[in-house]
Amino acid sequence: MIEFPGTEQEVAQLERFLNATENLSADAELTGMRDRALAHAERLSNAVNIGFAGEFGAGKSSLANMLAGADILPTGPQHLKLPLVIVAYSETPETTVGWWDREPKVYSGIALEKAAADDPDFISVGLNTPALQEISLFDLPGTGALDDTYKATLDLLKFVDCAIWCTNGTNAWRETERHLWSQVPQALRSNSLLAVTHTDLPHVNDALDRVVSRLNKEKGDLFRAVVPIGTPVAVRAMAQEPEPDFDLWEDCGGQTLAEQVLQIASDRRLADLEAARADLKQDFLPYLETLDRPENEPQKPDAASMHATLEAALPPLENPILEDWLAAIASIYEDLRESSDIEPVAFLHSCQEIVEDFAERLEQGGEIDPSADWIPGEFEKATDLLLLLQFESGDAPLNDAVSILAQLSDNLAWAGSRIDSVEPKTGT
């Protein structure tokens, strides 16, 4: 199974950099860094855009419907003329009509005919399909063999991260197609597939091996791979009851195409992620460290002083729940006593694991005073804070972690005492 790399931590770091520098006097260097950080954050927060393009009748809309898992785009000879149609994730089905130069408007549900009547520049269809949280599908208008419609296709391809060029298997990869695709930037070519469609037709299927062999020789650096697909058969295979016909799905090329699409999208996401990490490490986080560092930076605290600070902040043992908590963090005490060189990330990770384990235990209930039902939430928030601290540099995160543990201990001291007269704490 192909899994997309997570981006939450990097997006949080990028947003922290943008928030911290928002009100600073901007010079050329800072403006450039903020522009790059914003671009990284937008790319990592949005789905990867997969474009479907090809000449009229190549089956691109049918293929997009198959991967979307919904029959929403018109296919075959149609009277409905559509511009660019984007299929993206939405909690509830909706259709957005868009123009490049004015505000969009939204219809509830799937309303392509109504949207097309508004003569829009593009239409966005929102579906509650889990796969669309990672990828968005761009169904580009078809191109003609003897006209200039290919120019519009080239312009729209600028909006996609990866592309699938659909070529009709009855006359695959014509010179007109090659002419258009040769003008596509190499960066997009390396993230694109050549899909040979209509392989479900007998005369196409009979010659398929020869056609695919020819295309693999001709593709060079134009495409990442050549993938034959019998779209109607693939749709029929997935619609079988009580469960899909997976053998048929694989035989017709559906499985291979789906895996290839997810792989190129995942690779693109990973490339974006690595680019963001490089800028964070080289520029953004070091810049934040200069903002956090005081003029006379104090000497780095040693293990003994941190341990003393932590012990001084903790209340005495006075109830079972607190005793279990302190026993759980005893290993951290020992590390602080024995180590002369604290590894910040390892220390913070240990703190996070202990707090996370204890949060799960508290959620089960029955171990603290009923009036202290807010405390499990404090442990959950502390888990998130300790995770974020692992991506910061300097000594401040270590001191913050000590304060968090001390505050949680103080909360538990009150929660486990069952003394009604004690005023509750306000939280971490």
CATH of the domain at 143: 3.40.50.300
Q: Return left, alpha or beta for 220; rule: phi > 0 is left, psi -120 to 50 is alpha, else beta.
A: left
What's residue 337's pLDDT?
A: 64
179 and 241 share one domain: yes
d(CA 122, CA 97): 7
Whether residue 220 lies inside any domain: the answer is yes
Which one of 218, 237, 252 terminates a domain?
252
CB 310 within 8 A of CB 336: yes
Q: What is the band of 359 on the pLDDT scale with cuts at 50, 70, 90?
A: confident
Tens-digit pLDDT profile for residues 108-154: 999 999 999 999 999 999 999 888 889 999 999 888 755 676 788 88
CA atoms within 13 A on the CB side of 146: 0
Query: Which domain does 317 fall in, by range?
Result: 303-417
What's residue 210's pLDDT?
A: 96
52 and 198 share one domain: yes
194 and 312 share one domain: no
What's residue 343's pLDDT?
A: 74
CB 89 within 8 A of CB 49: no
Q: Is the pLDDT of residue 418 over 70?
A: no
194 and 333 share one domain: no
246 and 323 share one domain: no
What's residue 336's pLDDT?
A: 64
Range from 100-104, 120-124, 396-400 carrying the lowest mean pLDDT: 396-400
The contacts of residue 414 (CB under 8 Å, 6+ apart) are 372, 422, 424, 425
239 and 116 share one domain: yes
What's residue 416's pLDDT?
A: 59
Strands (E), 154-302: 162-168, 192-197, 225-228
190 and 323 share one domain: no
Whether residue 105 lies inside any domain: the answer is yes
Strands (E), 35-149: 48-54, 84-89, 94-98, 105-108, 122-127, 135-139
The contacts of residue 302 (CB under 8 Å, 6+ apart) are 340, 342
What's residue 390's pLDDT?
A: 80
163 and 54 share one domain: yes
127 and 215 share one domain: yes
Return the closest-CA partner of residue 53 out of 145, 167, 161.
Answer: 167
Q: At 10, give phi and psi (nearest 5°).
A: -70, -40
Is pLDDT larger for residue 31 or for residue 421? 31
Whether residue 354 lies inside any domain: the answer is yes
Whether residue 174 lies inside any domain: the answer is yes
d(CA 140, CA 152): 9
Sole residue written with tokens 């442990």:
379
What mean pLDDT value characterizes the chain?
84
Range from 13-27, 141-155, 255-269, 323-337 carrying the lowest mean pLDDT: 323-337
Whether residue 33 lies inside any domain: the answer is no
Average pLDDT of the segment spanning 47-71: 91
What's residue 68's pLDDT?
A: 87
Q: What is the band of 422 on the pLDDT scale with cuts at 50, 70, 90?
A: very low
Whether residue 107 lies inside any domain: the answer is yes
Range from 49-53, 106-110, 341-345 carrying the lowest mean pLDDT: 341-345
Domain count for the chain, please give it: 2
Cα Rg, the chain, nearest whole Å: 29
203 and 321 share one domain: no
Sole residue written with tokens 């034959």:
228
Is pLDDT larger for residue 347 or for residue 273? 273
User: What one-letter code names the amino acid at 305?
Assistant: S
Whether residue 323 lies inside any domain: the answer is yes
Whether residue 168 lies inside any domain: the answer is yes
Q: Is the pLDDT of residue 215 over 90?
A: yes
Q: Is the pLDDT of residue 284 over 50?
A: yes
Is pLDDT larger for residue 90 or for residue 145? 90
Which one of 209, 232, 252 terminates a domain?
252
Which one of 252, 272, 288 terminates a domain?
252
Return the closest-CA partner of residue 127 out of 213, 79, 69.
Answer: 69
214 and 345 share one domain: no
242 and 337 share one domain: no
